[in-house]
Amino acid sequence: LQRLEYRGYDSAVAPPSTRAAKNMCGIVAYCGNAQAADILVAGLQRLEYRGYDSAGVAIIQKSEDSGGKQESKRQKSAAPKADGAEAKIKICKQAGKVANLAKACENSDVKGTLGIAHTRWATHGPPTDRNSHPHVSCDGKIAVVHNGIVENFAALKTKLEGLGYKMASDTDTELIAHLIYDVRKKKAMPLEEAVRQALTQVHGAFGLGVVCADEPDILIGARRGSPLILGIGDDEYVLASDASAVIERTRRVTYLNDGDMVVITRGAGYQIKSLDGVKLIREVQELEMSLQEIQKGEFKHFMLKEICEQPEVLENCMRGRLNHDTGDINLGGLTPYLQRIIAAPRIIICACGTSWHAALTGEYMIENLAKIPVEVEYASEFRYRNPVLYKSDVVVAVSQSGETADTLAAISLAKKHGCLTVGICNTVGSTIARETDCGVYLHAGPEIGVASTKAFTAQICVMCMIALKLLKEKGDDSTADFKKKLKALAALPDKVRKVLEEKEKVLNMSRVFRYASNFLYLGRGFNFPVALEGALKLKEISYIHAEGYPAAEMKHGPIALIDQFMPVVVIAPCNDPNAEKLQSNIEEVLARGGSVIAISDETKNEDLERKCEYVVHVPNTEEFLMPLLTVIPLQLMSYYIADMRQCNVDQPRNLAKSVTVE
């Protein structure tokens, strides 16, 4: 087994139950007058991009709620022995997509107007009915949904098993249900207090929804590390991991802070308290999101919709911020901090995944334009590698969701060292947006497809504006060249529209390459991060292996991979200062039998056309703005190839939109 372990090592290394559960799931909970199951399932459908392994609901059913139907196989009463009890908890849960759960709920009689629900993304404990949330206490009277990770899982489990509790699943969440039960039983206390006391024993991150059959009019939510937002409607409340699950019921929301607990009591409103029981006041805000933004409309997938939205996304991102006539850039959130930023010896940008690629583009832009040294860090490395940080450093977090655990931890570390922290986030009210000293929102609208597209271009657009603003703040904006750059930036949405007109060509090209098993992406300068991003997009959604490299690095290793089966995507604009070098790289690929797909500009180049299997042209623009155009054909190609290979484009296997645990 030791020799064969490289072939699979899930169960030989440690039984699942001894390993920590990690999940980045979606929670929704409802308390009101409508049937909770319908609202919860609709909410889960909106949250499904956060996790799609399995889903479930728990509804408090009072005697007046229950219909006459028989219980189905899938749907169990969790409190069969609640003799004479007024209410019981009905659970319906299913492995697989929310659609499965929706069907199961339709065929069952989960009736009631208060409940909790969950859609799961798991790396531990198979996605079975048994491991699906909600999880219940041993008497079936307490149900819990949880997003996060119980870090002292092993110790708690041993303790609870020692007390005689039997585990019904492999999950860490179940422990929370038993803990609440244990505290409540021993001290005969109300649910609210029992949850509070139970949570003192839990180490790690949680976003939590809790209900109890003995207190059937109470819904409890709590958070530490995982997001929770409370929607406040007319006589109804929706608690959810993000706004998309709330918007159909209400636009009035309050964002819970880390360490907050909310207790919703039917007929008596809600109260937010700290986990220590201190009453808190939290601002109620109006959601800016529209329902249309979270619907697919005429598009086959969210990803395609989001790729096609990019011209408007860039317009929204620049609206009210950029004025190329006056040469003004207004980034309100940064204004009070600009002097500190230009005086900083360096800017450190932390991010993960696609946001890291945008950060790398940001490094090239800020160093080129504003001449301030920039370092780009993987947030997951930065947080643990004990970096040298000075108070004078500026640490920027780039994150679409604003909830990525590693990026958030990088910010906490920077704060501990007294650095100025800046957030570049898309999700309004997200944790990173709130934890940083200042920041810039992307205004890209909700991004539902797990593969990030429009957020990437909006992140780069924000990076451009920041670089230009810093240049201006340093007093280097007097030249005609500065205004020319602003003008070029303002002209980008129309240029992106033009690239999108190439859709058909990219579709045909994708048809040719859809069966390839490996791709290489090459770029130089500002287009190197685009090569990385192109490769990541293809990997994520089509499961084709792809690598991104700086073009010059090819001969230091990856060239060994090139043969007639290896398509090589070269981002090679002809008016690039490195154009000749890129042409040489193309020659090197061709000499080894590789096929080249070139992403170039509008400059005529017959030689390129002749040599490459495909050339996709994007409009000419300033060199530093090229990534905003060259990435679009790569996004489209990944999309078409994945769709042709019948992959689940919006919900690729094993991924989740918001990585809220490390």
Active-site residue, from 88, 90, 469, 657: 657
CB of 177 to ligand M6R, least distance (A): 29
Q: What are phi and psi of 518, to 5 degrees?
A: -140, 145
3-state secondary structure of 221: strand
**Residue of 292, 401, 360, 310 whose CA lies nearest to 639:** 310
C-beta closer to ligand M6R: residue 250 or 380 = 380
Distance CA 631, CA 271 (A): 47
Q: What are phi and psi of 134, to 5 degrees?
A: -70, 155
C-beta closer to ligand M6R: residue 351 or 471 = 351
CB of 540 to ligand M6R, least distance (A): 5
Distance CA 428, CA 345 (A): 30
Helix, strand, coil proportions of the chain in percent (round to 5)?
Answer: 40, 25, 40
Distance CA 429, CA 288 (A): 11
Distance CA 28, CA 57 (A): 9
Active-site residue, from 25, 105, 138, 438: 25
Q: Which residues contact 575 (CB under 8 A, 6 or more apart)?
A: 601, 603, 620, 623
Residues that bind ligand M6R (CB under 6 A): 352-355, 399-401, 404, 407, 450-452, 540, 655, 658-659
Q: Are strands 114-120 and 54-62 parallel, antiparallel or unpaired?
A: antiparallel
Active site residue 138: no
**Are 32 and 40 in contact, with CB atoms under 8 Å apart?**
no
CB of 657 to ligand M6R, least distance (A): 7
CB of 149 to ligand M6R, least distance (A): 16
| Dihedral Cα 617, 619, 623, 626, nearest 10 deg | -70
3-state secondary structure of 260: strand
C-beta closer to ligand M6R: residue 99 or 655 = 655
The distance from CA 623 to its chain's CA centroid, rounded to whole angstroms, is: 30
3-state secondary structure of 305: helix
3-state secondary structure of 97: coil
β-bridge partners, 329? 322
Distance CA 66, CA 49 (A): 32
C-beta closer to ligand M6R: residue 29 or 536 = 536
C-beta closer to ligand M6R: residue 354 or 630 = 354
**Residue of 304, 284, 335 whose CA lies nearest to 472:** 335
Residue with tokens 């003995």: 214
Distance CA 68, CA 65 (A): 10
The distance from CA 89 to its chain's CA centroid, rounded to whole angstroms, is: 32
CB of 95 to ligand M6R, least distance (A): 23
Residue with tokens 């919860």: 40
CB of 380 to ligand M6R, least distance (A): 10
Distance CA 411, CA 379 (A): 9
CB of 553 to ligand M6R, least distance (A): 22
CB of 661 to ligand M6R, least distance (A): 12
Degrees, nearest 5: CA angle 126-128-133: 100
CB of 503 to ligand M6R, least distance (A): 20
Q: Which residues contact 185 (CB under 8 A, 6 or more apart)?
A: none
**Are 25 and 121 in contact, with CB atoms under 8 Å apart?**
yes
Active site residue 657: yes
Position with the least CB separation from ligand M6R: 353
CB of 520 to ligand M6R, least distance (A): 19
C-beta closer to ligand M6R: residue 400 or 527 = 400
| Dihedral Cα 230, 117, 181, 232, nearest 10 deg | 20
| Residues designated catalytic | 25, 657
